[in-house]
Amino acid sequence: MLLVDHALMLARLRAPVYHRCPKKGTGDTPVPYAGGVAHPALVRKDTRMSLLSQLADVDVIDLTAPLSDQTPILQLPPPFANTKSFSLTEISRYDDRGPAWYWNDITTGEHAGTHFDAPVHWITGKDGEDISQVPPAKLIAPAAVLDFSLSAAADPDFLLEVSDVEAWEEANGPLPDGGWLLYRTGWDARSGDQREFLNANETGPHTPGISVECAAWLASRPILGVGVETVGTDAGAAHSFEPPFPCHTALLGAGKYGLTQLRNLELLPPQGAVIIAAPLPIVGGSGSPCRVLALVER
């Protein structure tokens, strides 16, 4: 079975899922197991080896921005409160505070750097999952990658429209059920510099995003969520949209997820990549810095 089929199977959470047992004598008798993820004890060793052997033909691409005190973060205008950046505080470094060990405390906002937005982050999703409640099976999912970097280069306020996604689907097939829409804008090239990344002037930040209508439409589609290269899933100017921050409002309100500050999307095919997004299970958290990896068949 293709790797992407495994991910689609997990993403669809079909229950029962049938695992065909190849053992002699039992033929092709389907063996049911509950839920989207097989307990290791329920999966034959040769099946596990088959999954592992497939990874030999897979490139692992890191979609995560490095996390440091230089990592760009969101800046909301007054009167709103702002997040802290990421930073390290040294506890000891092979010195009198700890002669044989080096370690740090970290300070970070939940929404610093490459991070995962849980539904509870927005008021429309306030009864939804916090970051610790996102089901692990959903953290491995297929992705469609929509490249609008030319449009965003021509207009930093470029907004993805329903017609853009429909035209993309016409050419590339439907967005994957239970999968990510990853929105490439080329904005990752600016992530080395907070000023360039936020691209603000006297009228506020100017970064590409998704229109109000398209955000509502995407929330009605069977996708898992939306991933972007910018500081948040909404456009820089989305504070002035009606409703404000339509991506957060519609998608998190529909129980979907956000991924931000992705990079290396240009290395992914339009369809067929499998995304592993691993936020920390912060109890009651609204989101988390996140390691995001893509698996791509060679």
Q: What percent helix, strand, coil does the chain show, rounded to 5? A: 30, 30, 40
Instruction: State the minimum distance, in angstroms, from the CB of residue 245 to ligand 23J.
Output: 5
Indicate which of Mn ion, ligand 23J, none lies near residue 234 (CB less than 5 to 8 Å, by partner kind). Answer: ligand 23J
One-letter amino acid of 138? K
Q: Which is nearer to ligand 23J, 47 or 75 (CB)?
A: 75
**Whole-Å CA distances, 105 to 73, 97, 279, 283:** 19, 14, 18, 19
Minimum CB distance to Mn ion smaller for 80 or for 298: 80
Distance, in Å, from the CA atom of 7 to the CA atom of 257, rounded to the nearest integer, reads: 17
DSSP element (H, E) containing 107: strand 98-107
Give the three-class secondary structure for 51.
Answer: helix
Minimum distance from residue 82 beta carbon to ligand 23J (Å): 9
Q: Whose Cβ is closer to ligand 23J: residue 76's or residue 91's?
A: 76
Cβ 141 vs Cβ 7: under 8 Å: yes
> For residues 17 and 36, what is the distance between their CA atoms, to the nearest angstrom?
7
What gap in Å lies between CA 219 and CA 136, rounded to an integer?
A: 21
When the beta carbons of 104 and 240 are compared against ligand 23J, the nearer one is 240
CB of 232 to Mn ion, least distance (A): 5
Which residue's CB is nearer to ligand 23J, number 149 or number 230? Answer: 230
- Read off φ and ψ for residue 225, nearest 5 degrees: 170, -175
Strands 225-228 and 257-259, bridge-based pairing: parallel
**CA–CA dist 111, 232 (Å, integer):** 9
What is the smallest separation between the CB atom of 70 and ligand 23J, expressed in angstroms?
A: 18
- Quote the radius of gyration of the chain (alpha carbons, Å): 21
Residue 184, contacted partner among ligand 23J, Mn ion, none, CB below 5-8 A by kind: none
Residue 74: which of ligand 23J, Mn ion, none does it interact with, CB under 5 to 8 A by kind?
ligand 23J
Among residues 117 and 188, whose Cβ is nearest to Mn ion? 117
Is 121 annotated in the active site?
Answer: yes
Closest separation in Å from C-beta 235 to ligand 23J: 9
Residue 123 partner contact from ligand 23J, Mn ion, none using kind-dependent CB cut-offs of 5 to 8 Å: none
- Least distance to Mn ion, CB of residue 115, Å: 6
Give the interface with Mn ion as residue ranges (CB under 5 A).
111, 117, 287
**Residue 229 contact partner, candidates ligand 23J, Mn ion, none, CB within 5 to 8 A by sort of partner:** none
Q: Which of 6, 39, 115, 121 is catalytic?
A: 121
Residue nearest to Mn ion (CB): 111
By the criterion CB under 6 A, which residues form the site for ligand 23J? 74, 76, 111, 117, 121, 232, 234, 245, 260
Please give the C-alpha separations between residue 38 and each of 43, 83, 264, in angstroms, as whole numbers.
Answer: 7, 38, 31
**SS3 track for 196-263:** HHHCEECCEECCCEECHHHHHHHHCCCCCEEEECCCCCCCHHHHHCCCCCHHHHHHHHCCCEEECCCC
Catalytic (active-site) positions: 121
